[in-house]
Chain A
Amino acid sequence: MGDSSGSVLTAALLCFFAMDEELERDERVFLLGEEVAQYDGAYKVSRGLWKKYGDKRIIDTPITEMGFTGIAVGAAMAGLRPICEFMTFNFSMQAIDQVINSAAKTYYMSAGLQSVPIVFRGPNGASAGVAAQHSQCFAAWYGHCPGLKVVSPWNAEDAKGLLKSAIRDDNPVVFLENELMYGVPFEMSEESQSKDFTIPIGKAKVERQGTHVTMVTHSRYVSHCLDAAAVLAKEGIECEVINLRTIRPLDVDCIETSVMKTNHLVTVEGGWPQFGVGAEICARVMEGPAFNYLDAPATRVTGVDIPMPYAKILEDNSLPQIKDIIFSVKKTLNV
């Protein structure tokens, strides 16, 4: 499979590298989930791991999410460091009790006696043409719960650095990948090629500096925002694009610093609008020092408030498009 020293690599590959390096580094780490072993992973993220590490550490499970998630959490309680893969996070709903009640809350309930060092990972949000039951974004649901860390990487570097941090973290981490990003190639920096390259959980990254408006986004929509920013730049509007990287804990400082500079805020996400990530960001900005710097109300760009349809034209119009982002920025700036 090689190592991560190539300079242009995909997010899927980087998730693989992260897992490979952590499996090698710590023998308590293991991966379980549907088709992770002999099938090489439903999305090929774990390809080659089973051949390298064998049955003990790469475990194919039956199609029983509640059961295998509980087993993964129990193993974490007893001293191992499992990576529990959901084929998509839609299926995590079958196991959500184990994620929230058995994993997230236990360290608190036990007043620190019992920790749960586990990573729940898998693709989250919309894919292409998979319709309503397979397209939900769970960032807001998991982001709601104390005791969980919720991470949403955008590019290949994010994927590697954040997944390594998640695996090394002693707490339950929900790691929301994106299927449409798995195959997108990115240039890798020199430092990201190291086996100890980690990105801290809880810190956002300013992907593009700007002065007129702050765009806060996560996952796939970072690409959309950067594309929109390129178009807007031609019209003289300079957007600052913040890649959240972590949904919980939210890096409010980064957002506030930016808003206090640009005076305008637009949030962009794929999930539904009600009680979503954008809603939380707006509320937090209102409650803090950045509010007084806003020259206009904050704007949320979100998925359409409907179950995901199948037909391409309908699906395309159910999610934020670059034109929607451009439109929203201009409206917010009143231009």
Chain B
Amino acid sequence: MSACLLAFATAVLEPVKLQWLFNDFILGYFQDVLLGSRVVVSRSFADFTPQATFDIKKCDVHRLEEGPPVKATLTRDQGLQYYRIMQTVRRMELKADQLYKQKIIRGFCHLYDGQEACAAGIEAAINPSDHLITAYRAHGYTYTRGVAIKEILAELTGRKGGVAKGKGGSMHMYAPHFYGGNGIVGAQVPLGAGIALACQYQGNNQVCVTLYGDGAANQGQLFEAFNMAALWKLPCIFICENNKYGMGTSVERASASTDYYKRGDFIPGLRVDGMDVLCVREATQFAADHCRSGKGPIVMELQTYRYHGHSMSDPGVSYRTREEIQEVRSKSDPISLLKDRMLSNNMAAVEEFKEIDIAIRKEVEEAAQYATSDPEPPLEELCNHIFKNDPPLEVRGTHPWATLKSVS
């Protein structure tokens, strides 16, 4: 109805410049829609609902009397912030896709689009002083843990302005209280338990979020870590991002039990809708409280989905159907879910989201510009950072006459 009126207005009345008539006769409700095409935003922010409470999906629980709340409160500011974060990760990953296809990014590139609600929801529930470690699908977390987009993209393109000066690449980015980016499947899980041990040892009330995928969930070292974490009551939140496929192997073909939230056995567990940022946030908050109260570790399974294949060398359609991917995109996209919730509860305007999108696109584009124009690391620095706090040492080059220098 409103679309027709708009069309009528622009097609018929525009030349007659009679839109002022509509201002008098049409209810304020239609005003924005009709005038939206020529006026930016006419509503003031005071018109929006500042806060709303939403019903969220109940979590399945394992060895717990009760789970996280089934209602979540979202303020307008929080909503816009989560939207911004998820959209930034989305656009950054799509930009990485583009750069990879242009061969400006090489080697491994495991993209996170589709899973944004996990990174955004977790970060919303923990403090910057808490710790986080994940596997190789790490760009989203690198961002949420505080690294600038341009430093992430420049690391992917192997430039000296990359967060690891081009020495690490996609899977080896670090930041304070963010321990990467780890290439060996499952190895990050005992590391995370160790970080939690350090938190307990230092008595600082911090927790460590230790992420792994459905593929890593069968690794023996996970169970070794679970055992010690439970034995010593380490403040570790083990989180399985179940995106249904470990590379090309579906969960049913890899795991005798796909109830990943129960795989901690004696460790309590939660199964969470990983496409809903509010679900993820509430569950992570619940888990963090559990750990901080000295009850020991907890396992969370986030049910999520990746749109891309396992990595850029995997089209992602030989082991799953395009229909399945499309269905998730249209029905469960985490960014759309949040946006629709906010719009239908009058928490923000369509134009606001559009403005945010435009700003993010610009930011990502500028970051990509930086990442493609920044110089590669200088060869003189090839051997640096072998040891910390050591005097310079000689490093053998490719032949006996090539003596290179390494400084800390």
**Which A residues lie at the B interface, using CB under 8 A?**
30, 56, 59, 61-62, 64, 66-80, 97-98, 101-102, 107-115, 117, 146-147, 149, 170-171, 249, 287-288
Contacts and interface: CB of A to CB of B under 8 A. Distances in A.
B201 interface: yes
- The list of the 6 closest CB pairs from A to B, nearest first, reads A74-B194, A70-B190, A67-B224, A78-B198, A74-B191, A111-B165
A75 B174 contact: no
Interface string B183-211: 11001011111111111011000001000
A110 B384 CA distance: 11
Given A78-B199, A147-B386, A110 B220 contact: no
A72 B194 contact: yes
B265 to A, nearest CB: 14
Interface residues of B, number: 51
B150 to A, nearest CB: 16
B184 A107 contact: no
B385 A79 contact: no
A98 B400 contact: no
Interface of B: 131, 133, 163-168, 172, 174-175, 179-180, 182-184, 187, 189-199, 201-202, 208, 220-221, 223-225, 227-228, 231-232, 384-390, 393, 395, 400, 408
Contacts of A68: 190, 224, 228
B386 to A, nearest CB: 6
A66 B191 contact: no
6 contacts: A61-B228, A75-B194, A78-B199, A107-B388, A111-B164, A114-B179
Contact of A77 (B194, B224, B228): B194
A112 B384 contact: yes
A146 B383 CA distance: 10
Given A108-B386, A114-B179, A78 B393 contact: no
A101 B168 contact: no
Given A97-B184, A98-B190, A170-B389, A111 B224 contact: no
B35 to A, nearest CB: 51
Contacts of A115: 388
Contacts of A110: 164, 167-168, 172, 174, 180, 385
Contacts of B223: 67
Contacts of B231: 62
Contacts of A75: 194-195, 197-198, 201
A72 B386 CA distance: 20
Nearest to A100: B184
A102 B221 CA distance: 14
B224 A66 contact: yes
Given A77-B179, A171-B388, A97 B187 contact: yes
Contact of B201 (A30, A62, A108): A30
A66 B201 contact: no
Contacts of A72: 194
Interface centre among B163, B184, B194, B197 (most CB of A within 10 A): B194
Given A67-B190, A171-B390, A112 B179 contact: no
B221 A70 contact: yes
Contacts of B172: 109-110
Given A59-B232, A74-B197, A78-B199, 8 more contacts: A67-B228, A70-B194, A74-B196, A102-B184, A107-B386, A111-B164, A111-B385, A115-B388
Contacts of B227: 62, 64, 67
Contact of B387 (A59, A98, A171): A171
Given A70-B191, A71-B194, A109-B168, A80 B201 contact: yes
A108 B385 contact: yes
A130 to B, nearest CB: 25
Contacts of A73: 190-191, 194
Contacts of A62: 224, 227-228, 231
A27 B395 CA distance: 34
Nearest to B197: A75
A75 B196 CA distance: 8
